Structures are given as C-alpha cells and as structure tokens.
Amino acid sequence: MTFSFKKFLIRNVGIYPPYLGAGIYVERSNPEMTHFTVGMKLRWYNRNLFGTHFGGSLYAMCDPFFVFIVLNYLGENYIVWDKGAKIRFVRPGKTHVKAEFHLTEETLAAIKTEIDTVQKKTYHFKTTVTDLDGNIVAEVEKEVYVKKKNENERTQ
C-alpha cells in the first residue's frame, strides 16, 4: 500500500486550523471514504450574538466532504472542485450538531462513467445539519465540478 498525502489530509481534516478553531471534527468515516459524519459542539468560541451556532461554522463543517468523497473515488486522473454552495438555516443550533455525507458506490461509479464520456460536469449533492434531537438546523446543497484531466494536466 502506497502513502497518499491527499488521503492523509482527508482523513485528518480535523487538525486543519479552521476546523480546530471552530470545534469541527470528524466523528466517523469508513475506510473507503465514501461516508463521513462530522460534528460540532456548541462552545463559547463558535457561538453567535444570540448564543447559537455561528452560521459560518455550520457551513464550514459541510464544505469539503462531497469533494473529498468524489476525489478519493476518481483518483489522480480527474479534477474535482467545489463550484458553489447554498445553505438555508432552518432553526437555531443550540446543541451539538452533526452532518452526514455519503455517496454510494453506484453513484460514484455512475459519475465516473459519465465523466469518462462527457469529460466534465457539475453535480449537486445535498445534506442536512441536525441537532441532538434530530431536528434540521440547516440544509446544504453543494455544487461539485468534475473533469477528466487531459494529457497536459496529467503530466503537471
């Protein structure tokens, strides 16, 4: 098994300074890196003026994970980027919150097949941020751009 710096960074995103500063951490991930559960406890340093979770932190906890999943599955011959995002705040987050990110093997295989044919496309993935009682705190939609690298991009 060879060492992959990208996989190391993905697995250890919890030590990334913005995540440490906001109190965001990966609760669980599977070995295939197709499923992540991310959490954030309400602390004095991630509260807003009203004593609830700061919206920027709620978004930050959702930012990279769909890109991580697709990038890890497709590998080095593909470019995977965040293209856009939308967050809708549903209710104040007053407790520990979490978000689940999961793409099935079938979905990922379909993306690979499609990109191998059309070369590039933007995909939309959705998740929710929930509190301890399972109430939806925020709904997040991510736009993820995927492109197959051409020969020049593969050699760089």
Containing H/E element for 10?
helix 5-11
Our count of domains for the chain comes to 1
Residues 6+ positions from 153 with CB-CB distance below 8 Å: 79
Q: Residue 6 falls within a domain, yes or no?
A: no
Q: Residue 16 falls within a domain, yes or no?
A: no
- What is d(CA 38, CA 26) in angstroms, rounded to the nearest whole number? 4
Q: Residue 12 falls within a domain, yes or no?
A: no
pLDDT the model gives residue 18: 85
pLDDT truncated to tens, each residue of the chain (156 aa)? 455 777 777 778 888 888 888 999 999 999 899 999 999 999 999 999 999 999 999 999 999 999 999 999 999 999 999 999 999 999 999 999 999 999 999 999 999 999 999 999 999 999 999 999 999 999 999 999 999 998 766 655
**Computed over its alpha carbons, how large is the radius of gyration of the chain?**
17
- What is d(CA 134, CA 142) in angstroms, rounded to the nearest whole number? 21
Q: Residue 8 falls within a domain, yes or no?
A: no
- What is d(CA 90, CA 151) in angstroms, rounded to the nearest whole number? 45
Q: Residue 10 falls within a domain, yes or no?
A: no
pTM, entire model: 0.90
CATH code assigned at 141 = 3.10.129.10
Q: Residue 13 falls within a domain, yes or no?
A: no
Query: What is the domain range of residue 102?
Result: 23-155
Q: Residue 148 falls within a domain, yes or no?
A: yes
Residue 66 CB neighbour total at 10 angstroms: 26
